Amino acid sequence: MYNTKYMHVSRRLFYLILIGLILMIQPVLAEPAASTLEHLTEGEIVQLLDGERLRSGSEVNRELQLLLPGSLTDHHLVIADAGKELFLIEALSLLSYPSGLKITTHEKVMLSLFNTLRSVSTQEGIEYISHRRGDVPAQLISRSYIVSEVGSREPLDDPVSKVLPEEETLIVYQDDTSFRGNYYEYTYWTNDSEIAVRITNRSKMKVFGLFKAIEADEMSIYVQIRPVDEGLLIYSLAVSSDLPAEISILGYKVNLSDSFTERLIAVENWFVDRLASDSIDYRKE
């Protein structure tokens, strides 16, 4: 006959192992969204939880309204000297977890998010809403790839990491509708709870590739992702100093503030679309 005492112990051990396995395949999330968003009003938090995207922007006020206090972006944010005019546009949204992210570990979630943010070649073909063409979708970026240094045009493959680094920098060449070919520096930071990237222009940005709009290193876009219980908090920010709201070229007016707002939206949408892509396998070792 079987020893009932050992059967009881074995059954308890089995359940303990089962519970451990269940915990291992669930993302270990730090906190609910509300505890991260204490700087927002109750109404804004409700909007986020309902799936709305919050926006804030100013060409005068230097106070950021949506930035997560103490976050990686907050720590690494570079704001121009007080004497310069400043353009700011922020966005904050809460994205429900893609199915793949729900059944893996927190470490794999963070690594997948990091590798997704570095897949810059997939920005080729992303679209924006062109007000100049009558508020219709138009291609924003036609070429996008990593290079070894500013000035190089030799494409490198998107890197894929197996370990999450604390910091990494890439140089990217992109050709877009508004400013033609330019070099950008992508700087990534990570910790146990967040991933952030700052995209800064390393070359002068010229409208149609001819008329100077922004000096090198005067424009940055930040994107930050923080997993919470309800999904992924995605904060994005475009900041530029001495950016004229509008310039006139041979009698043709170009609204630069609109251009950067649409660029910010396009980059955020690209990241969200990549997360939802069937080509990303979050369960891959």
Nearest-angstrom CA–CA distance, 49 and 154: 44
Residue whose entry in the numeric block shows the structure tokens 């409208």: 207
Q: What is the mean pLDDT of residues 114-128?
A: 93
Which two three-digit tokens encode residue 103? 């059944």
As beta bridge partners, residue 138 has 128
On the question of pLDDT at 16 being above 60, the answer is: no
Could you give all domains of the chain from N- to C-terminal order, each with its CATH number? 30-276 (3.30.530)
Smallest CA-to-CA distance from 56 within 252, 190, 238, 276 is with 238
Residue 163 is predicted with a pLDDT of: 94
More confident site: 245 or 105 = 105
- Measured distance CA(228)–CA(241) in Å, rounded: 33
Written as six digits, the tokens of 241 are 């100093």
Confidence of residue 81 (pLDDT cuts 50, 70, 90): low
* Adjacent-strand bridge partners of 180: 176
What digits encode the pLDDT tens for the residues 158-210?
Answer: 999 999 999 999 999 999 988 899 999 999 999 999 999 999 999 998 877 77
Contact, 100 vs 237, CB < 8 A? no
Q: Which pLDDT value is given to residue 136? A: 86
Average pLDDT over residues 80-99: 78
| Amino acid at position 34, single letter | A
Query: What confidence category does residue 62 fall into, taking pLDDT thresholds of 50, 70 and 90?
Result: low
Q: What is the mean pLDDT of the chain?
A: 81
Amino acid at the residue 27: P
Contact between 74 and 127 (Cβ < 8 Å): no
Can you tell me the mean pLDDT for 81-103?
Answer: 76
Which DSSP string do the residues of 126-165 spell out, in sequence order? -EEEETTTTSEEEE-EEEEEEESSTT----BPPP--SS--
The residue among 225, 175, 159, 232 whose CA lies nearest residue 197 is: 225
